[in-house]
Chains A and B, each alone.
Chain A
Amino acid sequence: MTPELVDIRPLLAVLVSLACAGAVFAVRHRARWRAFWSLAAAGIKFALVWSMLPGALAGRVYVYQFGELLPGVAFGFRVDALGLFFALVSSTLWVLTTIYALGYMRGSHSLHRFFGFFALCISTTVGIAFAENLLTLFVFYELLTICTYPLIMHNEDLAARRAARKYLVYTLFGGGLILAGMVLLHSVTGTLSLAETGILDASVGDHWLLAIFLLLIAGFGVKAALMPLHAWLPAAMVAPTPVSALLHAVAVVKAGVFGILRTIYNVFGIDLLRDLGYADWLAMLAGVIMVVASVQALRQKEIKARLAWSTISQLSYIVLAAALLTPLAALAAIIHIANQAFSKITLFFVAGAIERGTGRKRVDELAGVGRLMPWTMAAFTLASLSFIGVPLMAGFVTKWYLSLGALDAGAGIYVAVMVISGLLNAAYWLPMIHQAFFKPLPSEPGNDLRNRPRVSSMMIGPILVCAAYVILLGAGASAPSMPFSLAEAAARFAFELEVPLE
């Protein structure tokens, strides 16, 4: 039995960004204070979440309960390995995204609204990560929906309104499915706890189990951009780049994926799912998405649209890995939350920097950008190599364990699917790099890019840090006290294994 400690840090980690949001709304138009509060809260949260890492690695579980929201359903936090891993990723990225956003958004309108809701989003994300039960998770999950809405809407023009409406329709629909699934779950089990390795058992009856599985997976699948529930994600590209980064890497899609992982590992449990066989179908769906979304990405001409489709493809790696139900695949699923996040956020930051620096948004306009912005494009190169799966990069680690896990599960076909997806990734990233570095800058009269506006160092800095992380997560994965060991602990818990995985 894991020792549980009552600790206020999970609560503080959520409250810090909430307080930050309040402070940002309160200072209104004073930019310096806004920046101060945003950065201070990001820093404090970062420190709080990381301070729980040593304890979690030593096998401790931090809990904090407020009391019951409904009879038998508490409202509380419980920091287990999986939750802490997700919280680590998002709180680390929040620091970087905040710095980047301060640089990128300079001069935009309604900035107090922007940074206020930005902070709220992270508050709710950490709430999702630390939720002790499905209802607490759902509370924060829905709050996240509501808090991202003003961010997508930020430009307040027709395109933004359309995208935001689409986002809301999809996510609220998903929320409704989760709610229905949760009611079913509670009525058959009487609990919504996420502390177990499965609260359902076969005695519930097949049709109920199937209904709960479909409702929860489809519900969380909306935010996880599981095809065919993905259409909001490419549409939401109209939002400012830091928001796209937040949606794609830090908070929203990860919240969906995290929900799927919770459903598989903590609601159903490995053993029950293996008996039921639903996960095979989910894995098959994920395999198809992986390829289809990559092909779609190849067809996109806008950089951010290509990134969006690539996200859809990458998320299905996580879903596939989780659905394979083997320990090593589970490890791949969990670490890919971090690997995809850091690689994808690098790409988004770069796309935003290129847009600010040169005004270019399309894939075929990249010629010569590598010479103008060498550091930025170097980071882009690293991150895209990670997606292709080049060793030493973060993405390789995922693919390695995912392949091992697939072979364990006797599903070698998925290794082939991954190879195809890797090739497709190469097909859409490499030409961009080639253009940027090896094509000359077109000389257009009246549009001399050599006199372009300088890109703020507050944007370049986070790009380089993220790129460094991509290497660190790849090359230094098994260094002690890295989040990797946390992911391993989470996978061990799900499979109730005592010994290390390898």
Chain B
Amino acid sequence: MIEWSHWLPILAMLPLVGGALTPLLFRHRPAAACFWAVSVASVTSVVAIALLLRLVDSGGFSYAVGGWLPQYGIELRMDEVGAFAVPASLLVLLSLVFSRHYVARAVDASRVSFYYALVLINLGGLNGFLVTGDLFNLFVFMEIFSVSAYALVATAREPIASLAALKYLLLGAASSLLVLFSVGVVFAMTGTLNLEDAAAALALSSPMPAGLALAGLATGFAVKAALFPVHFWLPDAHAAAPAPVSAVLSALVVKAGIVGVLRTLELFGGAESLLQPLLHLVVWLGALGALGGALMALVQRDIKLMLAYSTVANIGYIFIGLGLATASAVSGAMVHAVNHAVIKSALFLAAGAMIHRTGLRNIDDLRGLGRRMPVTAFGMAFTLIALSGAPPMAGFTGKWQIALGALQAGHPSLVAVLVIAGIVVLAFGIRVINALYFRPPARVAVASATEAPASMWLPVLMLTIASLALGLAGTPMLEFVGPAAQSIYGTLP
């Protein structure tokens, strides 16, 4: 009988160690570095899937690092939120496969081994963040994935990459400080860093310092998640980064901010009087983000910038769901976090393949590419429609549940927000589809382009299929996250 919980630290340590070793082992052999990174990510994915199966089979479990029991030692635990490690590992794996040919052009040769190292470290940070059971490690792992993300943005050759990375770094560092400060406040109040113990203590504590900690944590994680109006670092960073990094950032790193918010809600679950105004605020900020992000995406000319703004919109949907605090809205938001991750990484990778082949990133310049790069263009067209939330694709499940939740909570106007934002998303999707399929090529680079190598179109195609399959699997996914939604919020209507 294998003790499953031993695998938990591997989830984080394997990519961290593997990443740290990459520049040492493969400094001058980029191809081997890629192979190494893909292998590490594959093993991590297998471990994550095994842990997920175990979770489905017999519920959550935890692991005391070094045998020191919680309250004093470090606790790792696997729950439904931690299960996000599975899509995280798989998406990083696909992004790494995609990177094989992409980085040769997009990243300086001398930096390639560092690039792979940073991606792996990012994955390790994400996985650790997802499974950690105490507040201080939450902060540590957050710093790991954040710092590696700043550096990854800066690896791009784009002229604005370092500026975008700097902007991202400043905002990110400020939010990290807020989180650290709040963790300190919680520790001072409760004398523990373990999430569960602290939550129990906070339920009984006085509102004032607790409110400060809540505000600090919520704001800090909201910046990481790019909730409107603290989203402005995101579009530049996600657009300037190398495409596979954009995929990881948009799909996973901002979602880690969402997970942080979920952990915060868990922490303050007992202090309802503090939570209510925050949730209310989050709903309306989310609505503004959803509409604003979609509209901003509509007016972009750069395809990656358009996708980046659409991430802001989708983060808005998720926050609407979290703030509504009804069973269907919260589970819808959690499912949408996964579904959006899959769809958005497909889109960023497809856009990356197009940029790789043509060197063009303006939507109007990509005209006529549908016939030159059939698989990539199909993937992009299909996932753009999925992004708008057309049933039965993956974007639909979450939005439907959030809309139902909005009606239950007595906010019919939010249904209008969701529907309008969906139509706007479809509008810019159609704009891209038009350019790809119904316009003659305007650029020589397009007319002479050919389909991207299999290491690029295969991940795009797999994610495209996944964006349909996850839509069809809406019910099991909702049932899976349902109990977690209930336990995070206490009880939900």
Shortest A143–chain B CB gap in Å is: 8
Known A69-B475, A183-B400, A187-B404; judge A161-B419 contact (CB<8 A): no
Complex CA–CA separation, A186 to B328 (angstroms): 13
Q: Say yes or no for A146: interface residue by CB 8 A criterion.
A: yes
Shortest A152–chain B CB gap in Å is: 10
Shortest B386–chain A CB gap in Å is: 12
Q: Say yes or no for A476: interface residue by CB 8 A criterion.
A: no
A183 touches B403 (CB 8 A): yes
Contacts of B453 in A (CB 8 A): none
Contacts of A172 in B (CB 8 A): 423, 426-427
Known A156-B438, A183-B407, A183-B415; judge A142-B400 contact (CB<8 A): no
B475 touches A71 (CB 8 A): yes
A187 touches B475 (CB 8 A): no
Known A70-B474, A71-B475, A71-B479; judge A161-B434 contact (CB<8 A): yes
Shortest A104–chain B CB gap in Å is: 21
A176 touches B420 (CB 8 A): yes
Complex CA–CA separation, A175 to B437 (angstroms): 23
Contacts of A138 in B (CB 8 A): 391
Interface size classification for chain B: 20 to 34
A168 touches B415 (CB 8 A): no
30 A-B pairs in the complex with CB atoms less than 8 angstroms apart: A67-B475, A68-B475, A69-B392, A69-B471, A69-B474, A70-B397, A70-B475, A70-B478, A138-B391, A142-B391, A146-B385, A146-B390, A153-B438, A156-B438, A156-B440, A161-B434, A169-B427, A173-B423, A176-B419, A176-B420, A176-B422, A179-B419, A180-B415, A180-B416, A183-B400, A183-B404, A183-B415, A184-B407, A184-B412, A187-B404
Interface residues of B (CB under 8 A from A): 385, 390-392, 397, 400-401, 403-404, 407-408, 412, 415-416, 419-420, 422-423, 426-427, 430, 434, 437-440, 471-472, 474-475, 478-479
Contact with B along A157-184 (1 / 0, CB 8 A): 0000100000011001101110110011
Complex CA–CA separation, A69 to B471 (angstroms): 8
Shortest A212–chain B CB gap in Å is: 11
Chain B interface mostly? helix
B419 touches A180 (CB 8 A): yes
Complex CA–CA separation, A173 to B440 (angstroms): 28
B407 touches A176 (CB 8 A): no
B426 touches A150 (CB 8 A): no
Complex CA–CA separation, A478 to B188 (angstroms): 86
Complex CA–CA separation, A142 to B386 (angstroms): 12
Known A176-B423, A187-B404; judge A142-B474 contact (CB<8 A): no
Contacts of A211 in B (CB 8 A): 412
A142 touches B475 (CB 8 A): no
Contacts A71-B479, A184-B407 known; 14 new A-B pairs at CB < 8 A: A67-B475, A69-B391, A69-B474, A135-B391, A142-B390, A153-B438, A173-B423, A180-B416, A180-B419, A183-B403, A183-B415, A184-B412, A184-B415, A187-B407
Q: Which of A88-146 contact B (CB under 8 A)?
A: 135, 138-139, 142-143, 146
Contacts of A70 in B (CB 8 A): 397, 400-401, 474-475, 478
Which of B408, B422, B437 is close to A187, meaning CB atoms less than 8 Å apart?
B408
Most chain A CB neighbours (cut-off 10 Å) among B391, B404, B407, B434: B391
Most chain A CB neighbours (cut-off 10 Å) among B403, B407, B438, B439: B438
B472 touches A69 (CB 8 A): yes
Contacts of B440 in A (CB 8 A): 156
Complex CA–CA separation, A355 to B423 (angstroms): 37
Q: Which residue of A lies closest to B388 (CB)?
A: A172
